[in-house]
Chains A and B, each alone.
Chain A
Amino acid sequence: MKFSWLSATAAVAVGLTVVRVVAFTPIEAVQGPAQKIYYIHVPAAWVAFLAFFLVAIASAVYLWLRDIRLDRFAESSAEVGVVFTTVVLTTGPLWGKPIWGTYWTWDARLTSTLFLWFIYVGYIVLRGAVDDPSLRARYSAVLGILGAFLIPFIHMSVYMFRTLHPMPILGQPAALARDTNPALPSEMRNTMLLALLSFTLLYAAFLSARYKLATARGIAEAEVRDA
């Protein structure tokens, strides 16, 4: 693997973020140290949504321009997005157990994230099941676009489900406090901004590495076909 300035910068930025989160950011008064997972959870969620948003955009533009690079970009972004969604779905329950008293609750946001994961894992499986590059690109573009239409429906239906049937959530005050979104102390806010920046860099680094792999694979596939 060749040296990449982007990857190196991202690695340093994530390292600095971790140091700042652990050593130089105050511990939250109500939740204690558990709250610090927030500096990984929220940036990972941001990157996951960004990644899937870009999949939908690249998919739509692919069907218009038919540039194979857009398909490779969508493929790469989807895979990186699934990795970050897995981080979100792992860190969330770890925080939820001490704070909400439960690993999982069928909240609209949690459920939508879980379904994002299902859709884009399906997207990756679909790509693996089609051999013809052009057919694969068109199929995955269609799924990439449809997925973007589905998420609002999942969110809406689960939101309405919960509104009609309220479920007990332990640690409600903490959850409420989060939803009312009080102003963060400046140290915490700056740590969060740093974390968001470093995770976005990490996304760019992963995306670029995965994109190179997709290009190399595309060339290899073409050679096999022509031989």
Chain B
Amino acid sequence: MVDTLGAAWLIARKDLAIEFKTRSAFLSAVVFALIALVIFYFSWDPTAVSATDLAPGVLWVIFTFSGLLGLHRSFGVEAADRAIDGLLTSPVSRESIFLGKALANLIFVGSIQIVAIPALVIFYNLPLGAAALPLIGIAVLAAIGLVAVGTLFSAMAVNTRLAELLLPMLALPFFVPIVIAASQSTAKLLSGRPVAEAAAWLKLLLAFDIIFLTVCTLAYPFTVED
């Protein structure tokens, strides 16, 4: 178990080192998230719908789409020169590879959130207040589910003829429960309701995370064997 997680951490560090040197995917994902925030603001009548009502949906839709940008890169970087073969022949379990990739993606998605959520709060003038801490909790739960499913589909999509075109088609239906649960619980918090009212949604997110992290970790070895 310790070995599995230790090896996963090494792989995550490798991916993050590549990303830190190039910053290509991160910058494009952050800029995409900021532009999308601005576009969404002008897509409705602010006198009819208040920003607080619109913000949760905007935030989590942007979260999934910008997440896709990072997820595609996750196994995309391994496709060049068949780097994935080197990874697979290294003395590391398949589960470690998956968890390492997922961890790197989690940090990637989390870093986008660290920029996007404050930007949303400022641009949409949100009354955050006591909702700040629970909102971080929602962000973490949503990111784990997104990354678990997205990492597995990224590994599959990169080996198909459609490559990056296939990833959204496979992954987005799986993101729907995450977007619904995260948006609804965020809406509760932003309208000043106690966390207890969002508890059912948070449980749903937690159940999604546990089930899909387990299933996807177990399923990954089947996608890479020869």
Contact = CB atoms under 8 A, between A and B. Distances in A.
Contacts, number: 76
A109 B212 CA distance: 22
B116 to A, nearest CB: 23
A179 interface: no
B161 interface: yes
A227 B177 CA distance: 47
Given A122-B173, A129-B166, A131-B161, A157 B204 contact: yes
Contacts of B211: 149
A161 interface: yes
A153 B177 contact: yes
Contact of B174 (A125, A129, A150, A158): A150
A115 interface: yes
Contacts of A115: 173, 176
Contacts of A24: none
A126 interface: yes
Contact of A130 (B159, B219, B225): B159
Contact of A149 (B161, B166, B204, B212): B212
B170 A122 contact: yes
Contact of B204 (A126, A129, A138, A160): A160
Nearest to B149: A146
B54 to A, nearest CB: 15
A156 interface: yes
A135 B223 CA distance: 7
B222 A157 contact: no
A164 interface: yes
B166 A157 contact: no
B104 to A, nearest CB: 21
Contacts of A139: 156, 159-160, 223
Contacts of B177: 150, 153-154, 156-157
B165 to A, nearest CB: 9
B182 to A, nearest CB: 10
Interface residues of B, number: 30
Interface residues of A, number: 28
A224 to B, nearest CB: 16
B169 interface: yes
A160 B199 CA distance: 12
A158 B173 contact: no
Contacts of A154: 173, 176-177
A69 to B, nearest CB: 18
Given A130-B159, A130-B161, A161-B180, A118 B201 contact: no
A197 interface: no
Contact of B215 (A63, A149, A157): A149
Given A126-B160, A150-B174, A157 B223 contact: no
A129 B223 CA distance: 15
A6 to B, nearest CB: 33
Contacts of B216: 146
A171 B87 CA distance: 59
Nearest to B162: A129
Interface string B78-108: 0000000000000000000000000000000
Contacts of B208: 153
The 10 closest A-B pairs by CB, nearest first: A129-B160, A153-B177, A157-B177, A157-B180, A129-B162, A129-B161, A142-B219, A118-B173, A122-B169, A139-B156
Interface of A: 63, 115, 118-119, 122, 125-126, 129-131, 135, 138-139, 141-143, 145-146, 149-150, 153-154, 156-158, 160-161, 164
Given A122-B173, A129-B162, 20 more contacts: A119-B173, A125-B166, A125-B169, A126-B170, A130-B161, A131-B161, A138-B222, A138-B223, A139-B156, A141-B222, A142-B156, A143-B170, A146-B152, A146-B174, A154-B177, A156-B204, A157-B176, A157-B180, A158-B180, A164-B184
Interface of B: 149, 152, 156, 159-162, 166, 169-170, 173-174, 176-177, 180-181, 184, 200-201, 204, 207-208, 211-212, 215-216, 219, 222-223, 225
